[in-house]
Structure 1
Amino acid sequence: MTHAIPTYETKHAASEAHAFEDLNRAFDAFRDANDQRLAELETRLSSDVLVEEKLARIDQALDDARRRLDAFALKASRPALGGPERPALPAAAAEHKAAFDLYVRAGETGGLKALEAKALSAGSGPDGGYLVPPPAEREILRRMAVISPIRAIASVREISTATFKKAYSTTGPATGWVAEAAARPQTNSQVIAELTFPAMELYAMPSATQTLLDDAAVNIEQWIADEVETVFAEQEGAAFVNGDGVNKPQGFMAAAKSTVAAWSWGKLAYVPTGVSANFAAANPSDILVDLVYALKAGYRQNASFVMNRKTQAAVRKFKTTTGEYLWQPPAAVGQPATLMNFPVVEAEDMPDIAADSFAVACGDFRRGYLIVDRIGVRVLRDPFTAKPYVLFYTTKRVGGGVQDFDAIKLLKFGVS
């Protein structure tokens, strides 16, 4: 009798399934421990320290299980570049790939110079490096969308210039109802303004030994994508949240803020919790309902909550009046956790709960935030600076900013 040898795919699927089961078991344990804590609060007006410690440990285990599940999802999304299962590249793409491979391994620039001159490209080796082949660039951007929380939910537009400009209307033409034979008064002119999204330069500098580069079995494009995906995603993820717009994208948290009643274009409206550095003591989850319904109906349909891990740990304890938890683990592998049936996006660059902090955002980020990617990821080979290592100065240009200030609302942990 023969036994089938488990393949990498079956082992990976089994590990992913175990991670998903661990997440659900951790949430069940968390729910039981929190119910015990709440029961003690009702009977003794205080909870046992041991129960609090147990809840904190389970909460940490819940986060660890979720991170493991995310890591499996990320690993599953990494097909090898240029593997045998991929279709043959067109002649021009194959020529670019071969020339780029020769440049990275041996520093030979003749092939890439000829190709970029033929394509009328503006870059050169001494100036800014050479463009990576399009399949590698697409793979880098695709992986970053998996890692970078805001990129995964925002709108992304590719541009071929240094700046993307978008017109918007600050005031529309006057309209109204009139009788059939009544005079039609002249309407006001529509006022048009412009949003500008410049693409800023983001860089990473992976290094390799010449021995690694001489190894023909090493997929150079795959190696570069592996080296830069995480650092690029971390840097741009921080900028999309808190960037000040100086040599980096402008994050949505950097926008001016106002109350919902005083909102005007150019600001993000917020809903206060009424308590400094905390939720309200009574019915703390009610403010989350207020936050959701501060959004117009058209934005609520595709809304997501954005918060960091510590804030998510706080809202994880909230329950409905019927005893159901508002936060729910993913319903299936690859899906996000939900809060009141809205997806929860974990962005560690969001602020912690503190006095007057804006620790929770809710909105339709697809309509609210725009990311612009300048076409082309460039690599400049440097074999001199850190001998015996060869450095690869890898750059991409990316910008971002709020494009619809009505699509995102914030929760302020303050009195007003």
Structure 2
Amino acid sequence: MSIQALREARNAAARDLRNHYDKHKDSWNADHQKVYDELAAKIDGFDGQIAAEERLLSIEASNNERLNRIEERDDVGRTEAGNRAEQESAIMRAWLVGGPQALTNQQRQYLDNRRNEAIRNGTLSTSPNVDGGYLVQQEFARSILEAMKLFGGMRQVATIMATANGASFLQPTTDSSSEEGEIVAENAAATTDTSIAFGSKLIGAYRFSSKLVPISLELLQDSAVDIEGHVRDRLTKRLARITERLFTTGTGVGQPEGIITAAAVGKALAAGGATSFTYDDLVDLEHSVDPAYRARAKYMFNDAVLKVLKRMKDGQNRPLWLPSIAGVAPSTISGYEYQLNQAMAAPAANAKSVAFGDLSTYTIRDVLAVDIYRFADSAFMSKGQIALLGFSRHDGKLMDVGGAVKTLQHSAT
């Protein structure tokens, strides 16, 4: 079955489930729940098949994006963009396999031309050497950043700020959630409000490392292997995992301040809630967030919590989870969209396992450069390996100061 057919079958099942729910929600019973469970299981099966197909399609999409960037960057047509993409891939492979000395004079000239263009256009913030890789800082590095956006939960919901350099700056903050205007009588003066206060939060750029990634010479030399894709995937996952974790739970001391760290507790569970929570607890969490923020609110939790929520019922014994229908409606919990984030805690003593609110008030800052270095010293060559090391710079802060995001915290016992 094609991916389009899978999507259509999945949407049909989701539509049937939602129609079934809407038709019977005011008189829900065990028979209705049985039909719901059967349709939900069918949807889960389709989702697994679709995810596998989408992983394959993402490779083609990445290649198309690269060609689009080269067309725009160099002001050339599709055919020439393809030629330049092949040339840049050949240079990248040669550099990975043999280091800078493996590049031909023609390839070095191509790199010099690209660097000079970048300097003229003001897009080269530092002057990389061939050991760091000229193209690594441009196309290859940009692909890594784009892939990181698809990896975890925070980049799906946060506001992304891209800067050309890593200089720290202050972002102003203020809380207007309790302010209101006034009625002024004829010929009367308007009141002067001196209570408005502005603050600021410092956004920096912490340096993240992929750690050294050893790669065997056999893998590098096997022309059947997509070595660029392999390297990009390895570096992306390493950098994405640590940044996603710290954007979620970072302390803010020598590292980004995570959204869960910065957000206030909206619902603290009483004793006995160390590993579980109820529908009523979710209602309390929702209403701990001001209605002004709830219009854009989403839930965020990890997959273990989603599994619990899919089985949870509301006060009338109806399921909380409804599946998405492409182009029509998103998946929801109690009517709110949700975002999976595997860096969030599972239900446990004192853990904050659920977040709710306007998650876009969290800002992620990316410095648009990823440096990749190649190591071929005796520590690796004696094992028939080279090693790659990637650096990238990021920071993250919850910029809201009015309580846009709240968390559910489990009890100690």
1:155, distance to aligned residue in structure 2 (A): 0.9
1:192 to 166, 173, 198: 198
Classify the secondary structure of the residue corresponding to 2:348: coil
1:298, distance to aligned residue in structure 2 (A): 3.5
Deviations 1:306-345 (CA, angstroms, capped at 9, x unpaired): 1123333333332234432012344459986421121222
Residue in 1 that maps onto 2:369 = 376
Q: 1:147 to 1:253 in 2, by over 3 A?
A: same
Q: 1:131 to 1:225 in 2, by over 3 A?
A: same
Contact conserved, 1:304 with 1:345, CA < 8 A, in 2?
yes
Name the one with the larger helix percent: 2
Residue in 1 that maps onto 2:126 = 122
Residue in 2 that maps onto 1:238 = 245
Q: Does the alignment pair 1:146 with 2:150?
A: yes
Classify the secondary structure of the residue corresponding to 2:160: strand
1:400, distance to aligned residue in structure 2 (A): 0.7
1:311 to 289, 305, 316: 305
**Aligned pairs for 1:292-371 within 5 A:** 292-332=286-326, 337-366=331-360, 368-371=361-364
Q: Does the alignment pair 1:107 with 2:99?
A: yes
Identical residues among aligned pairs (%): 22
Classify the secondary structure of the residue corresponding to 1:350: coil
Q: Does the alignment pair 1:229 with 2:236?
A: yes
Q: 1:297 to 1:131 in 2, by over 3 A?
A: farther
Across the two proteins, how many residue pairs are aligned to each other?
Answer: 369
Q: Does the alignment pair 1:97 with 2:88?
A: yes
The 2-side partners of 1:151 and 1:289 are apart by 26
Classify the secondary structure of the residue corresponding to 1:314: helix
Q: Does the alignment pair 1:77 with 2:58?
A: yes
Q: 1:174 to 1:183 in 2, by over 3 A?
A: same
Q: 1:80 to 1:378 in 2, by over 3 A?
A: farther
- Structure 1 unaligned residues grouped into runs of 5+: 1-9, 29-34, 40-54, 256-266
Contact conserved, 2:154 with 2:247, CA < 8 A, in 1?
yes
Contact conserved, 1:305 with 1:343, CA < 8 A, in 2?
yes
Residue in 1 that maps onto 2:408 = 411
1:373, distance to aligned residue in structure 2 (A): 0.6
Q: Which amino acid aligns with 1:196?
A: L
The 2-side partners of 1:85 and 1:151 are apart by 21
The 2-side partners of 1:280 and 1:215 are apart by 51
Contact conserved, 1:273 with 1:280, CA < 8 A, in 2?
no
Contact conserved, 1:81 with 1:222, CA < 8 A, in 2?
no
Q: Does the alignment pair 1:136 with 2:117?
A: no
The 1-side partners of 2:276 and 2:230 are apart by 50
**Aligned pairs for 1:138-177 within 5 A:** 138-162=142-166, 163-169=168-174, 176-177=182-183
Q: Which amino acid aligns with 2:405?
A: I
TM-score by length of 2: 0.71
TM-score by length of 1: 0.71
The 2-side partners of 1:227 and 1:101 are apart by 16
Residue in 1 that maps onto 2:258 = 251
- Structure 2 unaligned residues grouped into runs of 5+: 21-28, 76-80, 102-107
1:268 to 254, 264, 267: 264
1:396 to 369, 388, 392: 392
Contact conserved, 1:74 with 1:147, CA < 8 A, in 2?
no
Contact conserved, 1:74 with 1:146, CA < 8 A, in 2?
no
